[in-house]
Chain A
């Protein structure tokens, strides 16, 4: 049947050599489809696992089940309107998507972001990092079987979403980061609420650790499973907590600081062995570091405008529209056509909770971008799944997939 032949041809990346087992017997390989709909696949990821008994010999991920054509849609819209489109790509860390895009456009425009806006961006980015790690923590522990952690993490996540709603009006996909700065200044009372959250979050993170650190099941499932060495990860293009767990302290916030990250004092958690337990510990420790950054950002928040003062790029404040004709004209031009970006190309990388998130923007002088490409960290990190699970059991496959933290929206765009 041609369908099977076709399928077999496509499986050529998986070796079919029978492995000898036990008393000189050979076992047959079984290809199991862990399909797009599966409780443990963190979105719609399809895995073709080649199994020999319970041992995984190879795994081939098939993606594309949530491909939305975001990059194509972005070519059709003016720069201001691209921000909500691009935000929905990596749907848990939406501030980061907007930040990468706005950073690229700001590079092309050559405008300066005021310091207050930079600090506000850092504040929200770190809150989003905490929220992303909470979602990862809850869902991955759900895969391993620890249900209480899911409820506790989502309870904390609701507090972060309350803060987002306070500052921007929306829980998710807030469009808070705009080209030139942020959408709005923070309201009265926001700083106090954030400080309350920062006081409580480390205690809660301690509680999660207490629940899991000494648990024999968690340790057995995570320790020494899914070990990949650093050079393999670097060749695969993996960045973020996965690379840091294997010992390489590469973090764009320290290596190539953007948005005044160099004003803050924080540490980078780095693992030693590179197994799943290290990945869990690195992300868990990052929560504490993010809380520190948020507190420093609040303490040192400078006064000033919250968006660039260049009226050709950023909307004028509302109260000026009644008195100034130029402000009205600028507002009109920006809202109907949008600002024009001089021709050029820019690639702006930032450190998202999953790794290096880069945005490539090609401008051709008009009000719409000619090409927007988001270099998503999960897209490259997913290629590290195969070396992680070869030779392990299916249960280790599930644990490794959970610790990998793939977000399919970013992979498929």
Chain B
């Protein structure tokens, strides 16, 4: 991991190159996170990739309910030559949940972006085939948002066997 000063230097460098792209930095327990502005995340990632963080380890979403902007997309980058990890976080609001895709840089972001779309509802502009991957195609709702209910069936005991879900006859 780049240490705290290394992180600040990287943030400064990126802010100078793309003005307004870095909204902040976080450094917690050895993990460096750059908070990026959603419209410019693609540029930030491109520059980080050129700097050496060429492996996209993980692309996933987080729902920060009730803090706005609610939906966060996290990119975990890895530099294999110097064994360095850095994360980029882009937070979008539910009503404007759009962000540029990174499948042009990393083709392996295809399935993870589809998963974030399926589970959180973030649309990736420019994605070749954005549709649901884990839930059925016609499912309504985005399950992993915090306000989506966990769901489930009531457990079948002898006393509620008849009145509960129709046991197949």
A250 to B80, Cβ gap below 8 A? yes
Of A67, A75, A234, A373, the contact of B54 (CB 8 Å cutoff): A234
A72 to B76, Cβ gap below 8 A? no
**Chain A CB within 8 A of B60 CB:** yes
A-chain residues with CB within 8 Å of residue B55 when the two chains form the complex: 234, 237
A-chain residues with CB within 8 Å of residue B128 when the two chains form the complex: 13
Smallest distance from the beta carbon of A313 to chain B beta carbons, Å? 15
B29 to A346, Cβ gap below 8 A? yes
B111 to A379, Cβ gap below 8 A? yes
Of B28, B112, B151, the contact of A379 (CB 8 Å cutoff): B112
**Chain A CB within 8 A of B18 CB:** no
| Nearest chain B residue, comparing its CB with the CB of A376 | B58
Please report the C-alpha to C-alpha distance between residue A256 and residue B106 in the assembled complex, in whole angstroms.
23
Of B58, B83, B110, B134, the contact of A67 (CB 8 Å cutoff): B134
A107 to B57, Cβ gap below 8 A? no
A-chain residues with CB within 8 Å of residue B135 when the two chains form the complex: 64, 67
Smallest distance from the beta carbon of B79 to chain A beta carbons, Å? 11
Please report the C-alpha to C-alpha distance between residue A344 and residue B29 in the assembled complex, in whole angstroms.
9
B-chain residues with CB within 8 Å of residue A12 when the two chains form the complex: 129
A-chain residues with CB within 8 Å of residue B56 when the two chains form the complex: 237
B33 to A236, Cβ gap below 8 A? no
A72 to B143, Cβ gap below 8 A? yes
| Nearest chain B residue, comparing its CB with the CB of A13 | B129
**Chain B CB within 8 A of A86 CB:** no
Please report the C-alpha to C-alpha distance between residue A233 and residue B58 in the assembled complex, in whole angstroms.
15
**Chain B CB within 8 A of A71 CB:** yes
B-chain residues with CB within 8 Å of residue A347 when the two chains form the complex: 31, 58, 76, 85, 87
B-chain residues with CB within 8 Å of residue A375 when the two chains form the complex: 57-58, 60, 76
**Chain A CB within 8 A of B133 CB:** yes
A235 to B108, Cβ gap below 8 A? yes
A345 to B129, Cβ gap below 8 A? no
**Chain A CB within 8 A of B107 CB:** yes
Of B54, B58, B108, B148, the contact of A358 (CB 8 Å cutoff): B58
B111 to A108, Cβ gap below 8 A? no
- Encoded as 1 (CB less than 8 Å from any B CB) or 0, chain A from 371 to 413 comes to 1010100011011000000000000000000000000000011
B-chain residues with CB within 8 Å of residue A134 when the two chains form the complex: none
**Chain A CB within 8 A of B4 CB:** no
A72 to B150, Cβ gap below 8 A? yes
A-chain residues with CB within 8 Å of residue B108 when the two chains form the complex: 235-238, 380, 383
Please report the C-alpha to C-alpha distance between residue A349 and residue B30 in the assembled complex, in whole angstroms.
13
A-chain residues with CB within 8 Å of residue B62 when the two chains form the complex: 345, 360, 362, 370-371, 373
B111 to A345, Cβ gap below 8 A? no
A-chain residues with CB within 8 Å of residue B123 when the two chains form the complex: none
B-chain residues with CB within 8 Å of residue A362 when the two chains form the complex: 62
Please report the C-alpha to C-alpha distance between residue A382 and residue B115 in the assembled complex, in whole angstroms.
14
**Chain B CB within 8 A of A214 CB:** no
Please report the C-alpha to C-alpha distance between residue A380 and residue B109 in the assembled complex, in whole angstroms.
8
Q: Which of B25-69 contact A (CB under 8 A)?
A: 28-31, 33, 54-58, 60, 62-63
A360 to B31, Cβ gap below 8 A? no
A237 to B57, Cβ gap below 8 A? yes
Please report the C-alpha to C-alpha distance between residue A395 and residue B56 in the assembled complex, in whole angstroms.
32
Also in contact, A107 and B76, with CB within 8 A (given A10-B131, A13-B129, A72-B144): no
**Chain B CB within 8 A of A33 CB:** no
Smallest distance from the beta carbon of A359 to chain B beta carbons, Å? 10
Smallest distance from the beta carbon of B53 to chain A beta carbons, Å? 12
A76 to B133, Cβ gap below 8 A? no
A63 to B133, Cβ gap below 8 A? yes
A-chain residues with CB within 8 Å of residue B19 when the two chains form the complex: none
A-chain residues with CB within 8 Å of residue B115 when the two chains form the complex: 379
Pairs of residues from A and B, 9 with the lowest C-beta to C-beta distance, nearest first: A237-B108, A236-B108, A375-B58, A64-B134, A67-B134, A373-B60, A344-B28, A371-B62, A13-B129
Told that A379-B112, A383-B108 touch, could you supply 12 new A-B pairs with CB distance under 8 A? A67-B135, A75-B146, A76-B150, A107-B31, A235-B108, A236-B106, A237-B106, A237-B108, A375-B57, A375-B60, A412-B134, A413-B134
Chain A residues near B (Cβ < 8 Å): 10, 12-13, 63-64, 67, 69, 71-73, 75-76, 107-108, 110, 234-238, 250, 255-256, 344-347, 349, 356, 358, 360, 362, 370-371, 373, 375, 379-380, 382-383, 412-413
Jot down 19 A-B pairs with beta carbons below 8 A, ordered by A.
Answer: A64-B134, A67-B135, A69-B143, A69-B151, A72-B143, A107-B30, A108-B29, A235-B107, A237-B55, A237-B108, A255-B80, A256-B83, A344-B29, A345-B62, A346-B31, A349-B57, A360-B74, A375-B57, A380-B108
